[in-house]
Structure 1
Amino acid sequence: MTIKDTPEEWRVTESATPYRGNKTSVRADDVVMPDGKVARRDYQVHPGSVAVLALDGEDRVLVLRQYRHPVRHKLWEIPAGLLDVPGENPLHAAQRELYEEAHVKAEDWRVLTDVYTTPGGCDEAVRIFLARDLSAADGDRFEVAEEEADMELARIPLEELARGVLAGELHNNCLVVGVLSLLTARSLEGGMDALRPAEAPWPARPFAS
């Protein structure tokens, strides 16, 4: 038995979009179940996101602390952002987010992992990159606004973040997945060199090269 997620699409008899927001919307689909009955499934339609686990030469991860209103918390996170342009190359989006949020560039990029954040209620797909060989970005810092105006920036040892994740002290999805994925990659045959290249195909969000 091969343990691998596979694409599949059950028949939809009716679909509506009761809410459209600035970046996301809510869709209501009537889906035919295996027993022939029809069930309504409401979910958020999301453009997709990228996130960057930026690792420096001292084995520290670049993290941000930002207020997240839906959960009423300030969360430690890794740089991340929406795929604002349909079909946008996710590597280019990740490089942009690392520059805008941390004013940092990286020479070595790999795909760390791809995830669906909450597949029971949202179609958001996130590609998490590993970025290494960090240096300060050229030019002026990106001008931030709203929640990002209060953002803090730090570099924290990878193992300290892992301990925080397992202690239930760090909760951001991309940080948790990124940190644990990197530790796992290091323990497997081939290590980080076995990670997929930065331009690896992403069926969840196809893009132009």
Structure 2
Amino acid sequence: MPNQPLEDDLAPAPVVVSGVVFAGKIWDVRRDEFEYNGSPIVREYLDHPGAVAILALDTHDRVLLIKQYRHPVRAREWELPAGLLDEFGESPLDGAKRELAEETDVAADDWAVLSEFYTSPGGSDEVIRIYLARGLTELPDPFERVHEEADMKIRWVSLDDCVDAVLERRIQNPSLVIGVLAAQAARSRGWASLGPADAPWPRHPSNWKTGA
């Protein structure tokens, strides 16, 4: 219907059999057999706990960025602070607060949902929620960082410069690309599109997946 709002439909197909075919260090590969349009279908996909990312914006409209090594793409890329939702019982908002503190030694007083997206819906059930964090303060005690985070760089960059970097294809990280474009659009509308920080997240697979 042309007059209806543009919106994805949540429509989980009935799963007949589901099992982990590869158990990884961080995430697994799952195989599902499900019924769709009257036919059995088998698909394998990355079984992911989901993640959060944080666009922390200061009073000068500067975005807090980190630069981190990502081995699958062999690149040190600029990103938003982000992390997995792999702590049992932790809410997405609490996970975002934890990740912002652990990766940047920063806390925020004002939180809102900026955007959400599937990273690769044809091969993964990973979903990411991006928060807008404002009212920023530095934490007195820095976190100890190891592995890829040991040499992480932190930089404040104006939102406009971030948008330019996206449009000129100088940065590639999807959370950063989506986050800064969403923030620019939301800012131009007086931030009216922001969602409550504790808004329900029906697209997170934990709300509908069976056979896990």
Percent identity between the two aligned chains? 47
Letter in structure 1 aligned against 2:22: Y
Deviation at 1:37, TM superposition (A): 3.3
Deviation at 1:165, TM superposition (A): 0.6
Q: Out of 83, 99, 115, which is 1:97 matched to?
A: 99
Provide the C-alpha distance between the structure 1 equivalents of 2:202 and 2:156, rounded to a whole number of angstroms.
32
Question: Structure 2: where are the runs of 5+ without partners?
Answer: 208-212
CA offset digits 1:31-57 (Å, max 9, x no partner): 3332x3333211000011111000111
CA offset digits 1:160-195 (Å, max 9, x no partner): 11111111110101101100001111223xx21441
1:67 equivalenced with 2:69 (yes/no): yes
Deviation at 1:116, TM superposition (A): 1.2
Q: Out of 129, 133, 151, which is 1:127 matched to?
A: 129
Letter in structure 2 aligned against 1:195: L
Contact 1:129 1:198 in 2 (8 A): yes
User: Partner of 1:204 in structure 2?
Assistant: 203
CA offset digits 1:89-110 (Å, max 9, x no partner): 1111111111111101111111
Contact 2:10 2:203 in 1 (8 A): no
User: Partner of 2:194 in structure 1?
Assistant: 195
The number of residues matched between the two structures is 203
Provide the C-alpha distance between the structure 1 equivalents of 2:25 and 2:156, rounded to a whole number of angstroms.
32
Provide the C-alpha distance between the structure 2 equivalents of 1:87 and 1:193, rounded to a whole number of angstroms.
30
After TM superposition, list the pairs within 5 Å mapping 1:13-162 onto structure 2.
13-34=16-37, 36-138=38-140, 140-162=141-163
Deviation at 1:200, TM superposition (A): 1.1
Question: Structure 1: where are the runs of 5+ without partners?
Answer: none
Provide the C-alpha distance between the structure 2 equivalents of 1:92 and 1:9, rounded to a whole number of angstroms.
28
The alignment yields a C-alpha RMSD, in angstroms, of: 1.6
Q: Partner of 1:57: helix, strand, or coil? A: coil
Q: Partner of 1:150: helix, strand, or coil? A: coil
Contact 1:23 1:47 in 2 (8 A): no
Provide the C-alpha distance between the structure 1 equivalents of 2:163 and 2:186, rounded to a whole number of angstroms.
14
